[in-house]
Each structure stands twice: as C-alpha cells, then as structure tokens.
Chain A
Amino acid sequence: MKLSTFKIGGVHPSGSKLSADQPIKVMPIPDTVYIPAAQHIGKPADIIVQKGDKVKVGQLIAKSSGFVSANIHSSVSGTVTAVGPVPDPSGIAKMGVTIKVEGDEWMEDIDRSETLDTNVDRFSDKEIIDRVTAAGIVGMGGATFPAHVKFTVPLEKKAEALLINGVECEPYLTADHRVMLEKSEQLMVGVKLIMKAVKTEKAFIGIEANKPDAIEKLTELSHKYAGIKVVPLALKYPQGSEKHLIKAIMNKEVPSGKLPIDVGAVVSNAGTAVAVYEAVMKNKPLIERVVTVTGNSVKNPSNFLARIGTPVRLLIEAAGGLPEDTGKVISGGPMMGKAATNTDFPVAKGTSGVLIMPEELAHRREPEPCIRCGKCVDACPMGLEPYLLSVYSRKKMWDECEEHYIYDCIECGCCVYSCPAARPLLDYMRLGKSTVMGIIRSRKK
C-alpha cells in the first residue's frame, strides 16, 4: 500500500527513536515543584494563591486571563513557598509558583480510579468544552495552544473531520508513541469526546509508519469506535505540522494566512486527546505529562510520567545522569526544540522531551558561501526560497521578503537541515518574518 504524505518539500532526518521500547515510568514526586504561569500560547494565567497557602493536587492556582489563555493547577500537595520567578529554559526566570511538597493529597472531585469510562453520551458538546477549559488543557505536542480555543468551532464554520496527530515526526521523541500504546483506550474515548465537542462524525489518527505497533493496536481498537480511522503515513518531517498533516490525510491545503478550520479540519495531538479523556471523564486537570529523556550518550533513554513543575534535572538523573560529553540540552526535539541554558527548568505542559546532545554536535558549523544548490528550496515544505529570503532579510529588504511570502514560513528548519553550506537561513527567516508580520499588522490599523 502506498502511504500518504504531503507533497511539497520535507526532509528525512534519521529517527533515532532510542526510547521507543521503554514503557512509561512514573517519576517520583519531587520535594519542590516550580509551576510557571505561562505554559501556553496567549496571555499568562493570573496567579490566585499566595505564599503560605496550602494546596492540594489538582487545585486551581492560576486562572485563565482571557479566551486565549489557560488555567493552571497545582500538580502536588503542599505549601506555596513563593510566588515569583521560577527557572526557565531561557535562563531568564519567569513568573510562577513554587510549592514545597507535603504528602500527596488530591482534590476530592478527581476520580483516580483506573477504570475505563467510555460513556461519552453523558456530556453535551458544551459540557465537554467547559471541562476542557477548566482543566487547562493545551496542545501537548509542543505548540501549547489552548485546546478549548481550538475546539470552539466558530458558528459560521463547520468541522468536517478531526485529525489526531500521532505523527511525532521530530527525531528522538517517543512520548506520543508510548501514550498511544499504553493509553490506547483512553485515547479513543478522548477522540470521541473531541469529535462531539467540534460536532463531526469523522476522525483520522495519523501515525507515521515507524510506529507499526501503535498503528496496529489503534487500528484494531478503532473498529469498536465508529467514525475513527487510523491512517498510516509515510515518514517525512514536518508531517506533524498542522498544515502538512491536513494535506497528508485530507489532501487539502490550508490557504496562506488561514486556519485549519477554514478547510474544515480540527487538529489535535494524541497526548492531548488522552488529557481530554482524563479531564472530562475523570475530572482530572492537566497536572502531569509524559516526557521523553533521550540522547545518544544518555545511559537509559526513557519516557517518564512527570508532574508539571518537576525540575528536568531530576528526570535526567533518573535516566542515568547527564553524560560527560554533554554540550547542549534541548527542550523538545532536535528540529524545533529550544536549547536550554540550564537543567533546572521545570517540566511544563508543552515539554514533550528533553534531548541531550554531545559537545561535538552542539555547535553550528561555520557558514560557507551559498553555492546555490537549491537544496533549501527542495526541502522547504511551504515552497519558499530560503536562500533568497535570507538574503533579503539580511539586507532589510522587507518589501521583497513580503513579495516572496516570508510570512508563510513555519520555522520547521528543513532549509537549515539540508543546507550544505551551513547557512543560518532560519535565523534570517525569523527576523524577516516577524518584521514583515509587524509591518502587515501596522498597515491594518
């Protein structure tokens, strides 16, 4: 069978899924957690606890501050020791709540039983969205867009299909893979709930062919759940990008500047669907997530279920400690993840993985002159001309940047990945993109 995928561009980095066969391990609760107030795209949540307050697991500690924002709950029980800066991968401390752990006492209304609850009909679409909003669920693939915003389909639009992103196209990461294998039933019910919330009868779960076990298990299960279909996809990065997943599964192109819903698609990550299940059926807010800790020199690459706010350092220790030759620690995957200045930063809702790279791979190569080989053009999944745009951007030729659609760039990094001359293409793309977007916005005013 020919596997579907998107057509334009894309690259094939080696998978390096070192931790694919490692079952999810529950991380012990740390002594102290650091919970940032901004774990999502949009406005940071307003912190509603004070120093000295006693909190329980699942208690609201920061309130959503607008439509595009999300609630934040305590992931542990204990005493708030500080409301103020908490460590951040960037090295610049951000606003948050520090909680000293005492015991493990949960809010009474959270159902902690393991029994599977498939009774989706108990809830109306509105109730589902309300519960998702209350639970503070965000896109868990790394984009961290508040889930309730996505699930609220505007009145004039209609969702034709729900796409579940089980692609995990970033090399090394295996968190979604393990979740799909170990929480398959919960995932299916979660998908059903989202289908109901966005009012569609159809759902497709897109999984890349390098996860045959997940494809098999979910395909078998999907026969029990009407309307859900598993779609195996050919390996290609960046298939996990919303636009490219829609192209691969529905063969529709989201027009430039438009949203998935404009072509009738709602996209959600596999891990998010499981969180939706827990939030709606079990009343459990988003207080923990699966994080892959991996890297070629890491002793035991693993998948951990960690409470939000757990310092990443503890996860690395649990995976065998920081290797001798460490040069770079990345929050996320190697293509789009962020390099961290420290290992004290906490696990947040969007922390899909921690990748540790050895010193010899930590540095960029010295850029050489562009040899106009066109590899960046062939690789760009948006059909842009990175070699040209990066020059325009460097020379501050913003009009030319706009004429060549710099605002379409999804910052996937395929161009840099494939450039033999090691040109810093994406750095200039980002600069040009943000400047041009600013110009376009100011024009509308």
Chain B
Amino acid sequence: MSNLLTISPSPHFKDKPTTKSLMFGVLTALIPTFLVSLYSFGIGALVTTLVSVGSCVLFEWLITKYMLKQQPHIADGSAILTGVLLAFNLPSNISPFIVMFGALIAIGIAKMCFGGLGCNLFNPALVARVFLLISFPVQMTSWPKPIESRLNYLDAVTGATPMAAIKAGDLSICENANFLDMFVGTIGGSLGEVSAIALILGGIYMIARKIITWHIPVSIIATVALFTTLGWLSSEGYVFGRKIEVIANLFESGIHPLYHILGGGLLLGAIFMATDYVTSPMSATGKIIFGVGIGLLTIIIRLWGNYPEGMSFAILLMNAVVPLINKKFQPARFGAPKTK
C-alpha cells in the first residue's frame, strides 16, 4: 500500500477561500444593490444586467478558446463579476448594443489584451464605462427617472442625477435636500450607484467575510468627507472659528458633503470598483495611499473638471499608479534593521 501515498512539500493544509468563492462572494454582496435597482429602474435594470453579463461571459469564452487557444475559465466567476459591475455603471435605458460594445471593450481590451485574469492594469468595467462615456456621451448621461419609468426600457422618462444637476449650476436639488432618497436609492443615476444603504450593506458583508479589507473604501470615503466638509463649512463662513479664505474660494458652492458621498457613484466605486484585487495595491499602507489618491482626484474632477462625477477617472488614474505604489510601499518587514 505504501506506493499509494501522496507526497508533496508542505504545507498540507489550506484555507477555504478559492478564486471562485471570492468572486461569488462579491457577487453575493451585490445582490442588495441589484434588488434596489430592479425596484427603481425595473425592466431596464434587468435587461441591461443580463446583456452585460451574457456578453462578458461570451466574449471571455470566445477569446480564450479561439484566440488564445486555452481552456476557458468561466466558472471562476470573474467575467460574470465584470459584467455585473459594468451594468451597474450604466444607465438602465441604454441600448443593448452599447452594452455589448462595452463588454467587448472590458473583456477584449482591458482584460485579455493585458494577459487575462490577474494581469490587467486597469479595472475592466471602468475602462469600458469611460470608453462608452466618451463615445456615447448623450446615451451615457441621460438617466431614467426612478420608480416612474420602471415599466419602460429604452423609452424611459429621463431626468438629471444629483451630481449632474449641481454641475449644471442647479443647486435647487440641494435646497430641497432629500438624503433619504439618496440613501435608499430612489434617485436618478447608473444602475448600481443609487442606493447607499445597499452598497454599504454589501461592503460590510465583504469586510466581515474577509473578501476585502477596510483600507480602500474607508480611506476614499474619509478623504472625500474631510475635504468636502472643510469646503462646505468654510463656504458657509467659518471652520474652527476662522474663515479659511483659500478653501472658501476654492469651494465656492456650498454643496453638502453628504451629496458628494452618497451621490455620483462614490460608494459603488469605493466599495466595489476600487477594491478590485487585480488593480489595487497589495500592502495595507499602499491601499490607504491608493484610497486617499482616489478621494482627492474625485473631488478635484468633480469640482473643477468637466465631468460631473470623477470617480471612474480617479480610479483609473490611480490604477496606473498601483505598480509604483507596490514598489514604494512594501509591507512592514519582520526584523528589518532599524537604521538603513
């Protein structure tokens, strides 16, 4: 019987999570968000998500099998996840052909051209989104009104998102502030960005299950909160009893910080997009630097840039810096000599 024993070098023990279980864990965390989007946007949300997931999986399969001539790994769930995240970054009344085109960009260009799972520099879903935003600016920024156009798909009644309205100089939306809507998700916007509570729930679930760590979401949200609060307070008048002229001049409009945090896909980005394993840094310090960078860039783009919401650009820009961050911010080393 002795020749029946298996031998291999240690360790002989393994923790449970697998690539597949992690990917499906993220998908599970997205369920509440999906439910809210179905409630708010109805048929459009369903169709867009299905088309996006279907075409991402299809393209991945076709490319791996026929272009790379390898065994496709659809079961690992990464293509499904990219599909869901892409859909969640689109308005629900968008043409299915645009969605398919987006899927081709995400899988074909942003993922496979770089070498497939684990090798891409940029978040595939975001690359596709930004590509679509530039190619189809009109379709990408006409957002269906929530609830009332639930039963319509392409012919949905459209309205502005809070971020776009503010950018257009319409501050009325701030005056009749309704954070509750933003919190629950009955506002205009991309499929998956509207409900703060659902996104936060997903985030807590992922942190609790150790799928992600807190570093990236918390540092992004904290950075945005800090700077927008400073700006808000000083544009109202005073911070710490003093008016900080520089800051007051920079933030001329008094936008409540909660708008910045709850609106414009910030939570979707912070919790689900920026935390993508492949395109985020490795060490804890690196993750915090990455998060702070995204937070700052988002505010800069939102306040002084041309796009109403800077999240996607901010994440992509920081994606490009990840190799550098990984190089500079190595993990704390055990027994490192005190003085170099």
Interface residues of A (CB under 8 A from B): 8-9, 11, 13, 171, 243, 247, 253-256, 258, 322, 326-330, 332, 334-344, 355, 357, 359, 361-365, 368-375, 377-378, 380-385, 387, 404-405, 408, 411, 413, 416-418, 420-422, 426-427, 430
Known: A339-B6, A413-B10, A430-B9. A371 touches B335 (CB 8 A): no
* Residue from the set B3, B6, B117, B337 with the largest chain A CB neighbour count within 10 Å: B6
8 further interface pairs, Cβ-Cβ under 8 Å (given A332-B10, A374-B282, A417-B13)? A243-B335, A328-B5, A339-B8, A361-B12, A362-B12, A372-B282, A382-B333, A420-B18
Q: Are B7 and A383 in contact, with the CB atoms below 8 A? A: no
Known pairs A384-B331, A408-B334, A421-B19; A341 contacts B2 (CB<8 A): yes
A337 interface neighbour in B10, B78, B337, Cβ under 8 Å: B10
Does B14 make an interface contact (CB < 8 A)?
Answer: yes
Q: C-beta contact mask, B307-340 vs A, less than 8 Å → 1, else 0? A: 0000000000000000000000011111111100
Determine how close the nearest CB of chain B comes to the CB of A335; give it in whole angstroms. Answer: 5
Question: Is B21's CB within 8 Å of the partner chain A?
Answer: yes
Is B175 in contact with chain A by the CB < 8 A criterion? Answer: no
**Contacts A11-B15, A374-B277, A420-B18 given; does A387 touch B331 at CB 8 Å:** no
Q: Find the B residue at minimum CB distance from A12.
A: B15
Interface residues of B in 258-285 (CB under 8 A from A): 277-278, 280-284
Contact-residue size bin, chain B (C-beta under 8 Å from the other chain) = 35 or more
Distance (whole angstroms) from the CB of B333 to the closest CB of chain A: 4
B337 touches A380 (CB 8 A): no
Contact A372 B335 (CB under 8 A): no
In this complex, what residue of A is CB-closest to B278? Answer: A372
A381 to B116, CA, bound (A): 30
Minimal beta-carbon separation of B224 from chain A (angstroms): 23
Are A377 and B6 neighbours in the complex by a CB distance under 8 Å?
no
B237 smallest CB distance to A (angstroms): 44
Q: Are A327 and B331 in contact (CB under 8 A)?
A: no
Q: Chain A residues near B12: list those with CB within 8 A.
A: 328, 330, 334-335, 337, 339, 355, 357, 361-362
What separation, in Å, do the CA atoms of A9 and B12 have in the docked complex?
Answer: 19
Identify the closest chain A residue to B118 (Cβ).
A369
Interfacial residues of chain B within 1-35, with CB under 8 A of chain A in the complex: 1-15, 17-19, 21-22
22 pairs, CB–CB < 8 Å, chain A vs chain B: A247-B334, A253-B335, A256-B336, A327-B5, A328-B5, A328-B12, A339-B8, A344-B2, A369-B116, A370-B118, A371-B78, A373-B22, A377-B282, A382-B335, A383-B336, A387-B282, A408-B334, A413-B11, A420-B18, A421-B118, A422-B14, A427-B9
Contacts of A359 in B (CB 8 A): 6
What distance in Å separates the Cβ of A256 from its nearest Cβ neighbour in chain B?
Answer: 5
Whether, in the assembled complex, B65 has its beta carbon less than 8 Å from a beta carbon of chain A, the answer is: no
Which residue, B14, B119, B277, has most C-beta atoms of chain A within 10 A? B14
Query: Total contacts A to B, CB within 8 angstroms?
Result: 162
- In the assembled complex, how far is the CB of residue B20 from the closest CB belonging to chain A, in whole angstroms? 8
Shortest Cβ distance from A129 into chain B, in angstroms? 28
Cβ–Cβ contact B15 & A339, under 8 A: no
Q: Which residues of B contact A380 (CB under 8 A)?
A: 331
Cβ-defined contact, B18 with A422, below 8 A: yes
Determine how close the nearest CB of chain A comes to the CB of B315; give it in whole angstroms.
16
Cβ-defined partner of B7 (8 Å) among A339, A344, A377, A418: A339
Q: Are A417 and B277 in contact (CB-based, < 8 A)?
A: no
Which chain B residue lies CB-closest to A368?
B19
Known interface pairs A342-B2, A344-B2; A371-B10 also in contact (CB < 8 Å)? no
CB distance from B219 to the nearest CB of A (A): 15
- B278 adjacent to A371 (CB under 8 Å): yes
B243 contacts chain A at the CB level, 8 A cutoff: no
Q: Is the CB of A416 within 8 A of B334?
A: no
Chain B residues positioned under 8 Å from A243 (CB to CB):
334-335
From residue A40, how far is it (CB to closest CB) to chain B in Å?
19
On whether A328 and B6 interact (CB within 8 A), knowing A374-B282, A420-B17, the answer reads yes
CA distance A427 to B21 in the complex (A): 24
Do B5 and A339 touch (CB < 8 A)?
Answer: yes
What's the minimum C-beta distance from B111 to chain A, rounded to whole angstroms? 11
